[in-house]
Amino acid sequence: MRVQLFFAALCIFPATAFAGCASNMTTLVSCTAGNGDKALDVCSDGTHVLYRFGTSGQTPNLELIRSILDVDVTPWSGVGSSIWESVTLHNGAFSYEAFSSVARNPEAPAISGGVDVFEDGSPVASVQCDAGSVQTNIDALFEMREAAGLCYDHSTFAWGACK
């Protein structure tokens, strides 16, 4: 059963050169980094989240596919000068937290993003997206998780089964 699910996931998310998220997927965070040398794509088809990072135009160095139920999603708390959100995918001792932020300045709403990498909870790397390259819609993942039966409790800042 597990092999069948893995094969199905590979069919949904084929390993190809970076070209952004597929047309049947929602872009959660996508950008270039390092003056266009690197690319980050985090996408979802409503049931899975795909994380890809590596050299632009080539097969990703790292590709993770996780159920939307198995990723950590931190929605904006409603406080601060920026609207920010993040999605974290786990891979053994490593965690990859992709994030985006939109400055709440109506005259110049700057968008930023990137990915922070942790090993056993300790930061080991941080990649900031190139200015002007960020596409983001992490809040769509909030609705996808609710459709899958999870609810977010704003008082405890935690996800759980809907009641």
Q: Which domain holds residue 113?
A: 2-149
In tens, the pLDDT along 87-103 reads 999 999 999 999 999 88
> How many domains are contained in the chain?
1
* 161: in domain: no
* 132: in domain: yes
In tens, the pLDDT along 101-142 reads 988 877 776 899 999 999 999 999 999 999 999 999 988 998
* 133: in domain: yes
Residue 109's pLDDT is 67
Kindly report the pTM of this predicted structure.
Answer: 0.84
* 105: in domain: yes
* 157: in domain: no
pLDDT band, very low/low/confident/very high, at 18 (cuts 50, 70, 90): low
Residues 6+ apart with CB under 8 A from 19: none
Single out the residue of 106, 114, 109 nearest to residue 134, CA to CA: 114
Count Cβ atoms below 10 Å from residue 125 Cβ, excluding itself: 11
Residue 80's pLDDT is 80
Lowest mean pLDDT among 25-34, 48-57, 73-82, 114-123: 73-82
Token duo for residue 56: 């632009």
**C-alpha distances out from residue 35 to 30, 32, 65, 153, Å:** 14, 7, 26, 39
Judge whether 67 and 81 are in contact, CB under 8 Å: no
